[in-house]
């Protein structure tokens, strides 16, 4: 017999309206739903996995950390990016090394650095304190100039 929570997890990969309703209900259930969402991840398609990541982020239960780390190994770059972002927003212990591996994999694949996946991974590493943000000198000068124009009294 399938539980109500298991049914909701499978609905994460349904049409947008059903998926949205399932996400909202799983979020309302909260931490009690997280184990079922984790168990259901392998059976979900890309859309379902992305929606599950949203549930993880909204519930903010650290129990989802290992599942998010596992999603960094997805074949889909958006799933990897969203998992990285969720790991950072939830401040998951042990996420830095897997994020560094995924970042190296982006470099090895020659993924353009301005694509969303490497950008999301860099932001996650920065939020977790494993990377110092780099601002090119020209950009830094433009930011200072814009600030000066907005606040000439400084």
Q: How many domains does the chain have?
A: 2
As given in the structure block, the two tokens for residue 151 are: 């606040």
Residue at 144 is within a domain: yes
Identify the H or E element spanning 79: helix 77-89
Residue 149's pLDDT is: 61
| pLDDT tens for each residue of the chain, 154 residues long | 369 999 999 999 999 899 999 999 999 999 999 999 999 999 999 999 999 999 999 999 999 999 999 999 999 999 999 999 999 999 998 999 999 999 999 999 999 988 999 999 999 999 999 998 888 888 888 876 655 666 666 5
> Among candidates 28, 22, 85, 75, which has minimal Cα distance to 51?
22
User: In angstroms, rounded to a whole number, what is the distance separating the alpha carbons of residues 100 and 125?
Assistant: 8
> Among candidates 44, 131, 109, which has minimal Cα distance to 83?
44
Residue 86's pLDDT is: 97
User: In angstroms, rounded to a whole number, what is the distance separating the alpha carbons of residues 12 and 52?
Assistant: 7
Burial of 111 (0-12, 13-18, 19+ CB in 10 A): middle
Is residue 15 domain-shared with residue 56, that is, in the same domain? yes
Residue at 30 is within a domain: yes
Residue at 68 is within a domain: no
Residue at 55 is within a domain: yes
Helices and strands counted in the chain (H then E): 9, 0
Residue at 76 is within a domain: no
Domain that holds residue 16: 1-60
């Amino acid at each position: 017999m399938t539980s109500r929570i298991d049914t909701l997890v499978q609905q994460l990969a349904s049409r947008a309206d059903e998926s949205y309703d399932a996400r909202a209900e799983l979020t309302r259930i909260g931490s009690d739903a997280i184990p079922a969402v984790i168990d259901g991840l392998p059976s979900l398609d890309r859309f379902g996995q992305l929606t599950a990541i949203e549930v993880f982020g909204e519930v903010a239960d650290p129990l989802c950390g290992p599942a998010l780390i596992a999603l960094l190994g997805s074949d889909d770059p958006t799933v990897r990016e969203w998992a990285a972002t969720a790991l950072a927003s939830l401040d998951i212990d042990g996420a830095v090394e897997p994020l560094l591996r995924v970042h190296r994999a982006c470099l090895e694949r020659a993924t353009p650095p301005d694509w969303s996946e490497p950008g999301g991974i860099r932001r996650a590493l920065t939020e977790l304190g494993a990377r110092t943000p780099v601002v090119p000198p020209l950009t830094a000068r433009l930011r200072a100039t814009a600030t000066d124009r907005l606040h000439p009294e400084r």
